Amino acid sequence: MQSKQELNGGDALQDLCARVRRFVEEVAMPAESAAIARDVAALDHCVARLRVQAREAGLYAPQLPREWGGLGLGWRALAQVLEEAGRSFLGPAALNCAAPDQPNMLTLLRLGTSAQLERYLGPLVRGERRACFAMTEPAPGAGSDPSMLRTRAERRGARWVLNGHKQFISGGVGADFALVLARTDTGATLFLVPADTPGYRVVRDIGMVTGYQIGGHAEILLQDCEVGDEAVLGEPGRGLEYAQLRLEPARLSHCMRYIGRARRALETAQAYVMQRESFGSRLADLQQIQAMVADSHIDLHAARLMTLDCADRMDAGLSVKQHSAMAKVFVSEAVNRVADRAVQMMGASGLSDDTPVAMVWQEMRPFRIYDGANELHRATLARRLLAQA
C-alpha cells in the first residue's frame, strides 16, 4: 500500500495521474451522451455504475482520508488528479470528487459529530446518498452575498422550525439531505435536513445552460420544517463562517476540474485545425489560429500555476481567503477564453453536439457566477488590499 507521502508527489503521483487519464478516456468519456446530460435519473444511474469501476481501479475519492476510503491526497496532488478527471463531464462524479458533494463531505468531516458522520458522511462517501448545499435564495435573499440570508430557523420548545425559499441549489433534485443555511437569534446556522422531513419540498429542477450536473439545480421550499438539535452542524450562530470554510476549497476544486475541461476543448480544436483545410491551406497554418492556440496555452498555464500556488498554501495550513478569490476570478475567466477560442477555431462544428466543445463552452460561462460573482470578489479584494495599504 502506498503511503500518503508517496501519493502526494514523485513517480507515484505521476502514475496515479496516468491511471486517472486512462480511466477518463477509456471509461468515463465513452459513457458521455447527450441523452443523459440533463436527465437527473439517468445521470444517477450512469454515475453509480462508473463509481463501481473507479473503486475497482483504485481511483475513488482522492480528496478523502484513507480511513474514510479515500486516497488521502493533499491539495497540490489533488489539483493534478482533478485536472485529469475534469477532462470528462463524468470523470469527477465517477471518482466521487464532484460538486456539490466533494465540499459537502469536507464540511461534514470538519464539523460533524460522530453521530452525524455515521448518519450522513458514511453514505455520501460510499455513494449511497447525495446531498446539496442550500444557501442561495430568490431576491432579495442570499446570493453572492450570504449576509442577505432570509431563511429563518426559530426555536420552538426542543425543536427548530425552518421556513424559507431556496433556488439554484446544485444537486438538490433527488438529494437525500441538505446542508441548509438559516438565520437564528444567535446568527446564521447550518442545519442538516433530511429530504423526507415534513415541510421540505423540491418544487422543480430549474433548467440551466449547463449539463451533466448530478441532481440538477433545484428550487426548494421549507415550510414549518422541524428538526432537532442533532441537526445543527457545528455551533449555532457560526453559519456564515462555515459557509466560507466550505466555499474556499470548493472554488479551488472548481478551478482544478475546469482547467481539465478547457484543456479538452483546446485539444479537440487543435486536432480540428490540423486537418481542416480552407482556401488552400490548413487552418493550423494561419497566424490568427496560431495566436488563439498560443493564447489558450498561456491562459491554461497561468491558471494552473495560480491554482497550484493556492493549493500549496492550503497544504501549509495558511489562509487562502484572498488567494482563493483571486484564483477563482482569474481561472474562471481564463478557461472561458480558452473554450470560446476553441469554438471559434472550429466554426459551426464547435457549436454542434458532434464534439464536446459546445458543452464545455456552455459550462465555462457560469463559473464566473458560481461560488460568488467575479465582480463581488474583485470589490472585496480591492477593499482588503486598500485597507492593508
Domain annotation for the chain: domains and CATH numbers: 1-112 (1.10.540.10), 131-233 (2.40.110.10), 240-387 (1.20.140.10)
Closest CA to 106 of 118, 90, 124: 124
**Mean per-residue pLDDT over the chain, rounded:** 96
Mean predicted confidence (pLDDT) in 60-75 = 97
Dist. CA 31–CA 311, nearest whole Å: 30
Dist. CA 119–CA 127, nearest whole Å: 13
pLDDT at 250 over 50: yes
- What does the pLDDT look like over 112-131, one tens digit per residue? 999 999 999 999 999 999 99
What pLDDT score was predicted for residue 8? 79
Dist. CA 129–CA 214, nearest whole Å: 12
What pLDDT score was predicted for residue 290? 98
What pLDDT score was predicted for residue 6? 55
H/E element holding 164?
strand 159-170
What residues form DSSP beta bridges with 282?
A: 277
- What does the pLDDT look like over 175-194, one tens digit per residue? 999 999 999 999 999 999 99
What pLDDT score was predicted for residue 9? 74
Tell me the pLDDT band of 146, cut-offs 50, 70 and 90.
confident
Mean predicted confidence (pLDDT) in 242-264 = 95
CB 182 within 8 A of CB 164: yes
**pTM of full prediction above 0.85:** yes
- What does the pLDDT look like over 3-39, one tens digit per residue? 445 577 789 999 999 999 999 999 999 999 999 999 9
